Amino acid sequence: MIDRILEANQERYGLIIAGNGFKRSFGNFTANALWDIFFTALFGDRYEAESRLNKSFAVCAIIVDSREDRIHAFKKSSRPTGNPVSETVVASQIKNLFRNYLRGNR
């Protein structure tokens, strides 16, 4: 489908940027803490899921090539510091995704 959109606009390459993540609030942090207690009791070992207890947001960038029907490049951001839904943090993640790519270091 992406190929059709690119070809209809006479473009060879397309850029897809997608983000996925969460920021904990008191309510959902408490629910996950209870879930951890349940798993600790069930398995007898401390069950930890750091990403569930904190905040997480990842940005992925994909460059597709419609002429060759393939993914030209794919890169995923690292875990952000600060508020993961802050416009500044997300912009920084996107900028970092392309830092080496634009220098020709794929």
pLDDT tens per residue, range 90-99: 888 888 888 8
Question: pTM (2 decimals)?
Answer: 0.59
Q: Which of 57, 56, 51, 67 is nearest to 4 (CA)?
A: 67
Does 86 reside within a domain?
Answer: yes
SS3 104: coil
In a domain, 37, yes or no: no
More confident residue, 37 or 64: 64
In total, how many domains does the chain have?
1
pLDDT class for 50, splitting at 50, 70, 90? Answer: very low
Q: Which H or E element spans position 49?
A: none
Mean of pLDDT over the chain: 76
pLDDT score, position 44 = 58
Domain of 18, in residue numbers: 2-23+54-102
At 42, the pLDDT band (50, 70, 90 cuts) reads low
Distance CA 39, CA 43 (A): 6
